[in-house]
């Protein structure tokens, strides 16, 4: 993965049709997705339960771009090797998920993955100050994690603060939650590089009729691009 700050759209497959997941992934990748975002929830750290390493490994076979795995689980450390074996390119853990985030990030990198850290809406940007040299990505949650389709929370000031902490380091700022063709402009103007979108990508389409996916992805990208170009 070569680092660059071009806007990337990362559809969250939590919003896809899991009964046809291979074709869904092929559809979004062929219609403009840069990364594929995989949400893993444990029903403990967040009030929802999704998939584990075996399902992620099966999904990996269909992904030709970047598999961006977001762990909303606690604890994280016992599962790092399993997600590395499943083929994650990026593995993101929540800073709130355990007391030893530095150790977690070391384990992720030791297992050959890019290391991400996620911040819940109530966690300040300053929380990454002492781990900035151990991360490749910081995920700003713009909803409280656990469910798709929630109302967007504006975290522009946090994104701006993260930019100052990151400086010229090769660290992506990702935003996850409530992203669509309207809110994309807000977060991109603030400085986000990677936009995670679920229902906003998968609405009004299917693997059999994927043109809507392309239209939705392009609308999000255009909104973000217009803002960054104007600024």
What is the secondary structure of 93-132 as a DSSP string? EEGGG-S-HHHHHHHHHHTT-EEEEEE-TTS-GGGGGGGG
Q: Is 176 tagged catalytic?
A: yes
Q: Is 39 tagged catalytic?
A: yes
* Cβ partners under 8 Å of residue 113, min gap 6: 83, 84, 88, 89, 90, 91
Catalytic residue among 34, 68, 136, 176: 176
Query: Quick count: other Cβ atoms within 10 Å of Cβ 78?
Result: 9
Which pair of tokens denotes residue 77? 């450390």
* Structural contact between residues 30 and 3, judged by C-beta atoms closer than 8 angstroms: no
Catalytic residue among 39, 42, 68, 136: 39
Catalytic residues: 39, 176
């Amino acid at each position: 993965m070569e680092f660059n700050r071009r806007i990337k759209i990362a559809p969250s497959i939590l919003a896809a049709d899991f009964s046809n997941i291979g074709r869904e992934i092929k559809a979004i990748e062929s219609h403009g997705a840069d990364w594929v975002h995989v949400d893993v929830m444990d029903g403990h750290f967040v009030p929802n339960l999704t998939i584990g390493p075996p399902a992620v490994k099966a999904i990996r076979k269909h992904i030709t771009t970047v598999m961006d795995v977001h762990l909303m689980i606690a604890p994280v450390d016992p599962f790092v090797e399993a997600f590395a074996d499943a083929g994650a390119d990026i593995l993101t853990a929540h800073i709130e998920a355990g007391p030893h985030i530095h150790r977690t990030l070391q384990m992720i990198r030791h297992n050959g993955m890019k290391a991400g850290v996620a911040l819940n809406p109530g966690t300040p940007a300053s929380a990454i100050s002492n781990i900035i040299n151990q991360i490749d990505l910081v995920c700003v949650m713009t909803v409280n994690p656990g469910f798709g389709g929630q109302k967007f929370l504006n975290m522009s000031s946090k994104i701006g603060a993260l930019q100052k902490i990151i400086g010229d380091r090769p660290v992506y700022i990702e935003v996850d939650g409530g992203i669509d063709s309207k809110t994309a402009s807000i977060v991109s103007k603030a400085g986000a590089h990677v936009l995670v979108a679920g229902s906003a990508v998968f609405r009004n389409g299917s693997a059999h009729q994927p043109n809507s996916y392309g239209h939705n992805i392009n609308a999000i990208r255009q909104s973000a691009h217009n803002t960054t170009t104007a600024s």
